[in-house]
Amino acid sequence: MRHVRTSSRLVLILALATLVLGGCGGGSSSSVPPTAAITSVYESFFGSTGSAAEVQGMTPQLQAAYVKSRSGSLGKGTSATVSKVVVQSSAACKSAGVPAPCAEVTYTIAVNGTPALPNATGYATKQGGKWLVAKATFCALEALEGSPPAGCS
C-alpha cells in the first residue's frame, strides 16, 4: 500500500512539474517582437507596392490624400528602410496619440535611392491582428507637404 501512495505522489509531482515547466522557456509567438511585420508594412507602404489599407483608420478623406501622395512625393522611386522598432507601453502609445499596442519606428525614406527623410520617427499600431502604419505618422508626413488632409484631426 505504501508503494502505491509513493507512486501516486511521484506521478502527481511529475505532472505538476510538467505543467509548471511547460509555461517557461521559449514563450509563444505573441511574445516575439513584431519587428519583421512592422518593417514589412513600412517598406511596403512607402515603397511602390504599398496600399492605403496599410494605414490605421483609413477614411475616404485619407484615401484621397494617399492617392494624391502616390502621384507626387510618395510616387514611383520612393522606398523606406527601417532601422529600429521599439514596442511601446500603453502609456507611451497614448502619449504619442497612437492606440496600443504600438511601436516607435525609426525609418528613412529615399527617393530614387537618395535619402529624402533620414532617420524619421513614426509609429505602427496593431489592429485586427495586423500591424499598420499609424494614422498619426501618415498625417505628420502629409503635413510636411503642407496642411494635413481632412481626416487627420
What's the CATH number of domain 33-144, 3.90.25, 3.10.450, 2.60.40, 1.10.3470? 3.10.450
Q: Is the pLDDT of residue 59 over 60?
A: yes
Residue 75's pLDDT band (boundaries 50, 70, 90)? low
pTM value is 0.75
pLDDT at 23 over 70: no
Q: Is residue 20 pLDDT above 70, yes or no?
A: no
Q: How confident is the model at residue 89 (pLDDT cuts 50, 70, 90)?
A: very high
Poorest-pLDDT segment among 15-29, 30-44, 48-62, 113-127: 15-29
Q: What is the pLDDT of residue 74?
A: 57
Reported in sequence order, the residue ranges of the chain that DSSP labels E, i.e. its strands, are: 78-87, 102-111, 114-127, 130-133
How far is CA 13 from each of CA 3, 16, 23, 142, rounded to the nearest angstrom?
Answer: 15, 5, 16, 61
Label residue 73 by pLDDT band (50, 70, 90).
Answer: low
Of residues 7 and 141, the one with the higher pLDDT is 141
- Name all contacts of 123-130 with Cβ < 8 Å and 24+ positions apart: 123/88, 123/93, 123/96, 123/98, 124/34, 124/38, 124/41, 124/42, 124/85, 125/56, 125/93, 125/98, 125/99, 125/100, 125/101, 126/34, 126/101, 126/102, 127/56, 127/99, 130/37, 130/41
